[in-house]
Amino acid sequence: MRMFYYPKKEPGKVYTYPVGIGRDGWNTPMGTTSIAVKTPNPDWHVPPSIQREHAAKGHRLPSVVRSGPDNPLGYYAMRLAIGSYLIHGTNKPFGIGMQISHGCVQMYPEDIEILFQKVPVGTPVRIIHDPYLAAWHDNNLYLEANEPLEKWARSKRQLKKQVSKEIGKIAKSHSATVDWGKVDRVHDRADGVPTPVLVNSPDVPELAKSAVQLARPS
């Protein structure tokens, strides 16, 4: 549940942020789209479907929630060119990293403020479900494993098989030897931490000792 921004004006650089996504029954749509509209201090025009959902629970929502601290969109919103989906901030940051929205992509307030300034209208956006990632970096082969979302749980075995093929191809192209035991342990851990999987490569405890500690912005 992360966003990766590759700025054209900064080749070779990537910005990455944690996000919240659509919950079960309100899935964030996959596919290719773009940023259609950017709105600072947005009002939230509550969709009828969400009004009905809250009414069924005994909560009455207004048709419009004005910009401010009680607005679920936060202070920045970027509308996508598909349906009524947004990339936006939130007034409930505890939901970041969870399946919690009605399909929109939510970001920490301090992250959306930065991204909003960087991203121009028209920027392409790809929404993907890719829980297993492999890449060669600094003379080592890395695997990152995350648990697939529930709706793709049945595809877990096939997804792992696909990334194992990719690992084999990458290793062969660099004449490297894969430690398949490490691969299995990364899959079992499924913690989203990119981990070296070559023979004699450092393991997580060793990597953790030299990791730079970062604090979330206040």
Point out the catalytic residue in the list 59, 88, 129, 187. 88
> Which phi and psi (to 5°) does residue 119 adopt?
-90, 120
Is residue 83 within 8 Å of 29, Cβ to Cβ?
yes
86-88 vs 105-107, strand pairing mode:
parallel
The answer to whether 59 is a known catalytic residue is no
Residue in 54, 104, 137, 187 annotated catalytic: 104
Answer for the pair 125, 34: CB distance below 8 angstroms, yes or no. Answer: yes
Name 4's bridge partners.
16
State both tokens at 138.
């600094």
Examine the residue annotation and report whether 88 is marked as an active-site residue of this protein.
yes
**Helix 156-173 / helix 180-189 crossing angle, nearest 10 deg:** 140
Please identify every residue annotated as catalytic. 88, 104
